Structure 1
Amino acid sequence: MKILSRRLNFMCLFLLVTCYCLAQNGSVREDIIIDQGWRFSFGHPFETDKDFNHGTAYFSYLSKTGNGDGPAAKAFDDRAWRLLNLPHDWAVEQSFSESGSFSHGFKTAGKGFADKSIGWYRKKITLPEGDLGRIISLKFDGVFRNSKVWFNGHFLGTEESGYDGFEYDVTAYVNYGGENTIAVRVDASMEEGWFYEGAGIYRHIHLQKVNPLHIKTNGTYITTDIKPGYASVKAQISIENRGTNTIAGDVEIVSTIVDSKGKEIATKQIVSVPKPFNISLSDSEIRINNPLLWDIENPNLYRLVTTLKQDGKIVDIYETTFGIRSIRFDAEEGFFLNGKHLKLQGTNNHQDHAGVGTALPDELQYFRIKKLKEMGSNAYRCSHHPPTPELLEACDRLGMLVIDETRLMGINNLHLGAITRMIERDRNHPSVFCWSVGNEEWAIEGNIMGERITNTMQGFARSIDPTRPVTVGISSGFKSGISSVVEIMGYNYLGNGDIDAHRNQFKQQPGMGTEEGSTFATRGIYVTDDAKHYQNAYDRKPRPTFYSIEEGWKFYATRPYLAGMFIWTGFDYRGEPTPYGWPSVTSYFGMMDVCGFPKDNVYYLKSWWGKEPVLHLLPHWNWQGMEGKEIDVWAYSNCDEVELFLNNKSLGKKKMEQYGHLEWKVAYQPGTLEAVGYKNGKKVLTETQKTTAKPEKIKLTPHKPRLTNATDVAVVTVEVADKNGLHVPTAGDEINFSIKGGGRIIGVGNGDPTSLENDKFIDAINLVSITGFKEQALTTATLPQQLPSYPENAWKEAFKDRDYKNLAAAYVYRGQFNVASKSKTDVVSFFYQKVGVDAVVFVNGTKVTATADDAQKYVLNADLLKQGANTIHIVATPVHKVKDWDVINANPGVIQIVTPSEPYKRKLFSGYAQIIVQADGSGKEIILSATAKDVKAGTLAIPVK
């Protein structure tokens, strides 16, 4: 194995070095994630002064090419804006308010909060002269939502959806050998879903460089056909010619499959070069003997490396990861993977995690899929939109089947275009086994309009990818409309119709439970308290027309014709806090909370979804003050029998019903509650719940031992233990955090559905405009070092009606800015924008000096400032116009007030909290410290490779 590992590492290194060398010559593609070093500030949807006067130019960006104004302009000064890295969700950074959106977890952002509904992003990049002749594009994996993008002031386009990826060609707008500016305006004032969706550039952005003759984005489509002893791998390759001239000759396509052992299998063919701005399709087929199949237990993957050669030179290399597997739905027997029957044990999930909102680092995708796998889940439904590419990569590599879902049903370019992008992007992922084209569209589910739309959408989907079936999640009755024509029936909730009756009517239609459960549970809480908005964690029927997790699984598990079910939901999520409202801010539906801490239902599912013996006992055994009172004790297990003991006294042995659980009524006594599980009459498992002492020490546990790259994260579990080292399940201590070394904290949570604590602790940045800007003409160009006295009656509005052919030797300008509250910890800076060639600046009569690193930035001493109105004077020699139409800057700049945040902190909830730590790229070891009142501090060292 070590020899194989070294061989694979050598091959990868050789390929990387080869691609790098070729890239230096401008020959092959480069795909560079440009997430680092963006500037961000809030704008405004309708007050133009708060939107940096964007859209106020005489010629707008829609009327004249390159006329982006305000932050869309290349020369806009964004130095005072916040510096951050992507992915970024500005909604999760905001506080909570009862007037916030119920759907979005009552965050003070987006709908109803104009000051937090528009976000501007800007980044400067340098592109070398050697890139001239290549096609340069920006690829966005997803922006929530309604984004507009400019490059060097040139408007590129609008993407309304918050979930679809999009790409813009910027080749013609590039300043080769110099600086280039990307500007993105994001409007999150309108919601697309009824769940937390975040706000901002919450997925990656790529800078792509390719030869004019190249493989189109998502331009390989791989299908596999498994035969006895071998598999036939077919690849359809889309070659695009973005050159302006006809290219003579042919192009050679070399398709190389690299298997899991590093073995290469190749084929090549010669095809004609497509005409300018055309695409040609080429098909190749490669036979793989004794293939390793992809499945949920052994997710074997292959790579197709497609190389384009012209005149013997490599012009493009394109890699596609794929798996070899077969899928089949049967109306009588359910779902088959690689010819073997497999019951779908799925969950629905939104893209949302504690502390970070929708801006999940890549490693968090793997963390969450691993948590679901540990529970026994083998399938994941993307609810209700296309996922990030990284989620599908995690599912490919970890072995998780996926229903990939589009956002909205319809038959026009908006809807079918979204399907096209989703399927073309995702159809090579072996994890994706079904396309979903809709969910709970109540207005059309039961009528002819729904039939027509569904027929169009699933037929269109089949035209792009005929290898996977199509489903729709249906909830308003299983009799007519969509349910009568959809290829795979998606049942949303048992109580919404008679599933057996529908099956008897449509016996040739396979079906599965696309949503089931929708139960309420609060992790670690075992007594419902409506005043506190806590639901007990015992599995039970939540509402008359909904069913418990156990009832749902029994129904689907005992019906062979149903392929399986997808629980609503795998994880809690912000928003939709049914059955409560404010101050509940997250859902109660999850099998795990928003941190990924398991609720007790996880162990029910693990018992019947997994293969290993399971024994779980609930509740905890800390019930001080309830001595002698009966406590409901449950056991989740797949053992044949379970015996319960309290302080070594047997309370009886009970036989486990298949897909069931066991219950006892136990009079509380402090001590040890113990369960013993038996299989075939033999003791196989023991589980205990012990009464603990008070908290003594903080314990920090990362989800993995080390970080491996510059953006990797550690998900750290925070808890307290008693003097015996036992976890204290009822602890609610407030934990304070600090970090040193090569990392930063990016979010914190605890799973409490009513917690209004901060998810993030970030410095507050307030930008203050300079108002009342006036001027006086001076007769000398000598700039004073002390502020002279200027006649009060000589001030006039600055730059108004100025005669640029007869300028004064110099001008003095005066303006005001307001400091609402003065604090010694605030950092106040003046970011000067040149209103003259040379200048001297005075604040409240005192000359200030520019910083060493920026000649146009002035950090203002706190003793110099006043609470309330402050005065700024600028004495400067004038800028002369070269052409009459030149525009002279009349904006003196902006005052930035930075208020440092308080340190990260979080209360434990039912004994746990979570903090997410990210590497900062320095490679230094990370030291995380945690302190709390009356307990011993905890320290964690996280190596960074």
Structure 2
Amino acid sequence: MPKHLGLTILSMIAIGAVNIVPRLAVADVPGASTRASQRERINIDKGWAFAFGNATDPSKDFKYGLRPFFFAKAGYGDGPANSDFDDAAWRRVDLPHDWAVELPFDARGNGNHGSKAIGHDFPENSVGWYRKVIDVPESDRGRRISIDFDGVYRNSVVWVNGHYIGTEPSGYSGFGYDITDYLNYGGRNVIAVRVDATVEEGWFYEGAGIYRHVWLSKTDPLHVGKWGTFVRPTVDKGGATLDIDVTVDNDAKTDGTFSLLQDVVGPDGQRVAHAEMTGLTVKAASDGTFHGSVKVTAPHLWSPDTPDLYHLKTTIVSEGRTVDTYDTTFGIRTITFDANSGFFLNGKPMRLKGTNNHQDHAGVGTAMPDALQAWRLNQLKGMGSNAYRTSHNPPAPELLDDADRIGMMVLDEHRMMGTTPEIRGQLERLIIRDRNHPSVILWSVGNEEWALEGTPLGTHLADEMQDIVHRLDPSRRTTVAASSSGRGVSVSADVIGFNYGAQHDVDAFHQRFPEKPAAMTEEGSTLSTRGIYFDDRSKVHLNAYDRQGRPSYSLSIEEGWNHVIARPWMSGMFVWTGFDYRGEPTPFGWPAISSQFGMLDTTGVYKDSAYYLKSVWTTAPMVHLLPHWNWQGKEGQPIDVRVYSNAQAVELFLNGKSLGRKTMVANSHLQWDVPYQAGKLEARAYSDGKLVANAIVSTSGRAEKVALTPDKHKLAADGTDVSVVWVNVEDKVGGIVPTASDRIKFDVTGPIRIIGVGNGDPGSHEADRTVDRYEFLPVSQWRSLAVDGTGDQTEVAEAVDTTSWRDPLQWLPPEAQPPVTAGLVLRGQFSRPTTQPGDKVSLFVADLAPSQRVYVNGLPVETTVVDGNRQVVLDVDGLKSENSLSYVIPTPKGGVPSLADVSVGGSRWGVVRINHPAGPWQRSVFNGWAQVIVQSTGVPGRATLKASGEGLSAATAQFDVK
């Protein structure tokens, strides 16, 4: 943490509007020169090499940790941590990447984590290695360079150029390392990351791998510290005061003297305030925090309806030149949690209409593209939600950026209660990283910590953690989400968070602690399958009518909302959950693989309960009718028909005949028992006697065609933008067939790729992602023999006794070195791989010398260069149980040891890769719906997605990528 030094306000100037853009150029700072050493933040997501290691067998983990002095001496990283390791055979991936979503489902997998083949029973799938080569120019010498990870699940170890850098056990906290001292300037640099996801951190699907962004940051030695600004607005009559803290790091070996310039730019791009602080000093190898304030007149207040944002540009000028600029986005607004009147935003009462959500989406798992994060928030906002709880961990930074921009209030949650250096450090990182976001209205320091909820230790730890939060951010309050209340953590919370009204006597608590504000941090926990209206436990499907999921545990969605609004002192509620997510397949075990708590399914299709919330959370006229009207075989039998609406009355019609008009009860629903008759069921909603909305469900015809509906047809050619495409099976007249289950195949042409598919079925075991799966066989038992030349040698023959040959990996003293000859034969062995039809097998070989000769089983082979790597395509049928790989090369300068030194245990000399090719992209629709997510590849052009199914007319969707 930065040291908080004495604060001095040297010069503060409030100015009128100036026509200037939000991102001020360096040239806008009077009298300041520029140089290339100013701040750069470079995304390095593209082009990582990835391979599975092994959690229990070092020989299958690329012999990681077996090198002498591996962890005893600096720079002795081995296996993939060695900068000379050859990853040519590895798969290439772009980040964010979740390898768990690519794994098959398995009954042995942990059901709470989605029954994926990962964890203690699957050591071959539980460790992933990532490697990336970056070039750092000589001109960067003298700058501070760090690598920043937004999130790695989990237990990551980072190596740079063979040097151990650090370990981060958390799967959710962002972290970074200053790697300045370990870089090769003007040369090649290797970043290696080992990720071990064997141990689970939560009780829900968490993914695996580098599932958030990675950045390379470059600054002058004198610079604004990481997350080094904090803007605290105070609103008063006619204006706002911005208190601004800036932490400046000085990594130089001499004291730094500088001026600090602050420019505030409003939502319209005009500068609204300016301040200067001059003559400031930070001692060498130290840091300091400086405080100032500026006034903003007639501020635009941030809210869900008006998410207006401001920008602060902080500039450091030292010795007449600009050495750093740092941009901070913030908003101006007030938040109040009142013990008697609930929540207020900008002085106005507002109910929190919230949802709980994990970072998980159909098709992509936890590795969500930024555009998908925004799409999910908009789906929630579309049903009237104004608040989002990041259950139960720090969110991706981009989610908060989108919440700021879209207008979604956030309850930002820490992962685990505690005050140890590790846990405290994670809490501090969360607060400092996120405290400038206007969307964040409340911090949560814990969730259902059962060992602490009723204990004095729980009270103490909650107090200590809240003190930490308040020191770092005095502008917001904290909560602890509790499953029991009245003692322990609940009596310490600034704002009590009740998880499920049925588990608390909330009125008794309010009477006992009348000074304590409250919110329902979890409510509902209802269980429903989208599009299903009768329980079918054999398929792990539950009917979608709103009801108590677990009567002794929670309320229905309707009961929960009425429970909250009946109490003016209750700030609002967060439904468990917004989206379905993998894992926690309550009330089932295998073969269920996802939860059914969501108001939306895993693909983001609204369930019926979402429409109930829309009817009570929004004011635009709406009516929703359920169930579907395909009940062949139930003619004459009563069907439970329900209607949600925010109108005053609704009249129901069957095939044009009125079944009666009923008055809506506020925050409730209407219900009819309707004998089934094929045709059209219609609900007409009225307010003040006028028709304001209607909804129709009709008996569909048979499935005839596929329909594609992208959320957008224009994509940025940045290699990251996505379009979320609904896939429906329709009848002849274009009605969705609500019982359809056809399998749909997908193909793309042009500059897009498919990154995931899903259908919302909690029992579906179809693949979300289809990717090539690689296995590796090492070439081992290396032997070397000095020979007279580099031409054809009999020593490469299939049957040669190599017992007297030298082990080239064994160190020998100078006096024991073999004689230096013109040539050298290197010979290793590899086993015949086990393959399946369609597999491709390649032998990757080293490029040891321009004149090298390569032999397999004594026969010369021609190597092909693919992406700069030499490989040989092997005919598995022609291989023997044991096979030889031989090189004939000129003797390296300095003899054999110089070759062995860079062999990385022989792993650079040869590896056999078995490629299990990806299957076709396909997915069955579930109750007529599925989803496919397409992403731009980084190249402009026209692109097409095609969807086809057996016996159905195909559909295409066009995309303009630019």
User: TM-score scaled by structure 1?
Assistant: 0.95
Aligned partners of 1:437, 1:466: CA distance in 2, in Å? 15
Partner of 2:926: 909
Aligned partners of 2:930, 2:872: CA distance in 1, in Å? 39
Aligned partners of 1:395, 1:794: CA distance in 2, in Å? 67
Which runs of at least 4 in structure 1 moved beyond 6 Å after TM superposition? 7-10, 16-19, 882-886
Partner of 2:698: 690
SS of the equivalent of 1:943 reads strand
Measured after TM superposition, the shift of residue 835 of structure 1 is 6.4
Partner of 2:97: 88
1:117 aligns with 2:126: yes
Aligned partners of 2:19, 2:194: CA distance in 1, in Å? 42
SS of the equivalent of 1:397 reads helix
CA contact (8 A) 1:86 1:204 kept: yes
Partner of 2:298: 290
Measured after TM superposition, the shift of residue 704 of structure 1 is 1.8
1:50 aligns with 2:50: no
Partner of 1:305: 313
1:523 aligns with 2:527: no
Partner of 1:874: 887
Task: String of CA shifts for 1:457-491, please: whole Å, max 9, x gaps.
Answer: 1111101101100100010x222122222110000
Partner of 1:349: 357
CA contact (8 A) 1:784 1:840 kept: no
CA contact (8 A) 1:843 1:864 kept: no
Bigger shift: 788-797 or 589-598? 788-797
**Unaligned regions of 5+ residues in structure 2, if any?**
1-16
Distance 1:709 1:252, change over 3 A: farther
Matched AA of 2:328: T
User: Structure 1 residue aligned with 2:436, among 428, 432, 451?
Assistant: 428
Partner of 1:887: 901
Aligned partners of 1:804, 1:875: CA distance in 2, in Å? 19
SS of the equivalent of 1:74 reads coil
Structure 2 counterparts to residues 418-497 of structure 1, below 5 A: 418-475=426-483, 477-497=484-504
Partner of 2:12: none
CA contact (8 A) 2:26 2:34 kept: no
Structure 2 counterparts to residues 227-238 of structure 1, below 5 A: 227-238=236-247
Measured after TM superposition, the shift of residue 245 of structure 1 is 2.3
1:548 aligns with 2:565: no
Partner of 1:898: 915
Measured after TM superposition, the shift of residue 825 of structure 1 is 4.5
Partner of 1:197: 206
Bigger shift: 184-193 or 699-708? 699-708
Aligned partners of 1:110, 1:295: CA distance in 2, in Å? 43
1:926 aligns with 2:943: yes
Aligned partners of 1:271, 1:428: CA distance in 2, in Å? 27
Distance 1:882 1:780, change over 3 A: closer
CA contact (8 A) 1:518 1:569 kept: yes
Matched AA of 1:566: F
Matched AA of 1:944: V
Partner of 2:10: none
Partner of 1:3: none
Aligned partners of 2:706, 2:214: CA distance in 1, in Å? 39
Measured after TM superposition, the shift of residue 187 of structure 1 is 0.9
CA contact (8 A) 2:19 2:270 kept: no
CA contact (8 A) 1:23 1:30 kept: no
Partner of 1:681: 689
Aligned partners of 2:865, 2:210: CA distance in 1, in Å? 33
SS of the equivalent of 1:925 reads strand
Measured after TM superposition, the shift of residue 435 of structure 1 is 0.4
User: Structure 2 residue aligned with 1:715, among 721, 724, 727?
Assistant: 724
Higher relative contact order (CA 8 A, sep 6+): 2
Matched AA of 1:33: N
Distance 1:790 1:867, change over 3 A: closer
Matched AA of 1:897: I
CA contact (8 A) 2:351 2:572 kept: yes
Distance 1:752 1:888, change over 3 A: closer
CA contact (8 A) 1:539 1:548 kept: yes
CA contact (8 A) 2:363 2:756 kept: yes
SS of the equivalent of 1:71 reads helix
User: Structure 2 residue aligned with 1:586, among 594, 602, 607?
Assistant: 594
1:208 aligns with 2:221: no
Aligned partners of 1:540, 1:29: CA distance in 2, in Å? 55
Aligned partners of 2:626, 2:806: CA distance in 1, in Å? 74
Distance 1:24 1:936, change over 3 A: farther
Partner of 2:736: 727
Aligned residues: 933
Distance 1:432 1:795, change over 3 A: same
Aligned partners of 2:301, 2:372: CA distance in 1, in Å? 26
Distance 1:796 1:910, change over 3 A: same
Partner of 1:505: 512
Matched AA of 2:44: I
Aligned partners of 1:795, 1:924: CA distance in 2, in Å? 61
CA contact (8 A) 2:113 2:205 kept: yes
Aligned partners of 1:548, 1:17: CA distance in 2, in Å? 59
Aligned partners of 1:708, 1:135: CA distance in 2, in Å? 32
Aligned partners of 1:128, 1:762: CA distance in 2, in Å? 35
Aligned partners of 2:390, 2:76: CA distance in 1, in Å? 40
CA contact (8 A) 1:111 1:188 kept: no
Partner of 1:27: 37
Measured after TM superposition, the shift of residue 728 of structure 1 is 1.3
Task: String of CA shifts for 1:497-539, please: whole Å, max 9, x gaps.
Answer: 2111111111110001000000000000000111211000000
Distance 1:666 1:215, change over 3 A: same
CA contact (8 A) 1:837 1:878 kept: no
Bigger shift: 787-796 or 51-60? 787-796
Partner of 2:960: 943
CA contact (8 A) 1:820 1:867 kept: no
% identity of equivalent residues: 46
SS of the equivalent of 1:347 reads strand
Distance 1:927 1:14, change over 3 A: farther
Aligned partners of 1:281, 1:709: CA distance in 2, in Å? 41
Task: String of CA shifts for 1:302-352, please: whole Å, max 9, x gaps.
Answer: 000011111221100000000000000111100000000000000000000
CA contact (8 A) 1:23 1:29 kept: no
Distance 1:155 1:794, change over 3 A: closer
Task: String of CA shifts for 1:639-678, please: whole Å, max 9, x gaps.
Answer: 1111111111111111111111011111111100011111
Structure 2 counterparts to residues 537-616 of structure 1, below 5 A: 537-545=544-552, 546-616=554-624
User: TM-score scaled by structure 2?
Assistant: 0.94
Measured after TM superposition, the shift of residue 794 of structure 1 is 6.3
Bigger shift: 333-342 or 278-287? 278-287
Measured after TM superposition, the shift of residue 727 of structure 1 is 1.4
Measured after TM superposition, the shift of residue 23 of structure 1 is 12
CA RMSD in angstroms comes to 2.3
SS of the equivalent of 1:316 reads strand
SS of the equivalent of 1:39 reads strand
Measured after TM superposition, the shift of residue 626 of structure 1 is 1.4
Partner of 2:395: 387
User: Structure 2 residue aligned with 1:59, among 66, 69, 82?
Assistant: 69
Matched AA of 1:177: G
Distance 1:862 1:671, change over 3 A: same
Task: String of CA shifts for 1:371-396, please: whole Å, max 9, x gaps.
Answer: 01001000000100000000001100
Partner of 1:219: 228
Task: String of CA shifts for 1:774-806, please: whole Å, max 9, x gaps.
Answer: 455433332459965765476656437674342
Partner of 1:378: 386
Partner of 1:140: 149
Aligned partners of 1:786, 1:864: CA distance in 2, in Å? 25
1:831 aligns with 2:844: yes
User: Structure 1 residue aligned with 2:745, among 736, 739, 764?
Assistant: 736
Partner of 2:625: 617
Distance 1:502 1:14, change over 3 A: closer
SS of the equivalent of 2:25 reads helix
